[in-house]
Amino acid sequence: MRIVCPFCGERELGEFTYLGDAKPQRPAADAGEDAVYDYVYLRDNIAGVMSEHWYHGGGCRAWLKVTRNTLTHEITAVEPAAGAGAAKVGA
């Protein structure tokens, strides 16, 4: 598996660290126990196309959002993840 970092180009997998499913959103502070349990512990664990967070620690150190098929390992899109680093790119 190789990931095409939008900042660094195509790099081997060893340069990246995986965080997991990009879908869970941190609930509001007063959202209640169910929402927090859901966010921290429960996962769709998709067999197929999934959007996930990877960190390019061996390169530009940006967080990336990668669209990948968990059945085939095929990657169809890589974009900067929302956040400080990505905001600068857009500017």
Partner 1 sequence: MKYSIFSLARAALSGHQNWQRTWRDAAPKDRYDVVIIGGGGHGLATAWFLASEFGIRNVAVLEKGWIGSGNAGRNTTIIRSNYGLPGNTGFYELSMKLWERMEQDLNYNSMVSQRGVINLYHSDAQRDAYARRGNTMRINGIDAELLDQPALKKMMPFLNFDHARFPVQGGLLQRRGGTARHDAVVWGYAHAASGLGVDIIQNCEVSGFTRDANGKVTGVETSRGKIGAGKVGMAVAGSSSRVAAMAGLRLPIESHVLQAFVSEAIKPLLPNVMTFGAGHFYVSQSDKGGLVFGGDIDGYNSYAQRGNLPVVEDVCEGGMALIPMIGRVRLLRQWGGIMDMSMDGSPIIDKSPVEGLYLNAGWCYGGFKATPGSGFVFAHLLARDESHKEAALFRLDRFRRGAMIDEKGQGAQPNLH
Contact pick of 46, 49, 75, 86 for partner 1 (by CB under 8 A): 46
CA distance 14 to 74: 16
Could you give the string, one character per residue 49-68, with x where binding to partner 1 holds by CB under 8 A and - elsewhere?
Answer: -x-x----------------
Could you give the string, one character per residue 3-42, with x where binding to partner 1 holds by CB under 8 A and - elsewhere?
Answer: ---------xxx--xx-xx-----------x---x--xxx
CA distance 43 to 45: 5
CA distance 2 to 56: 12
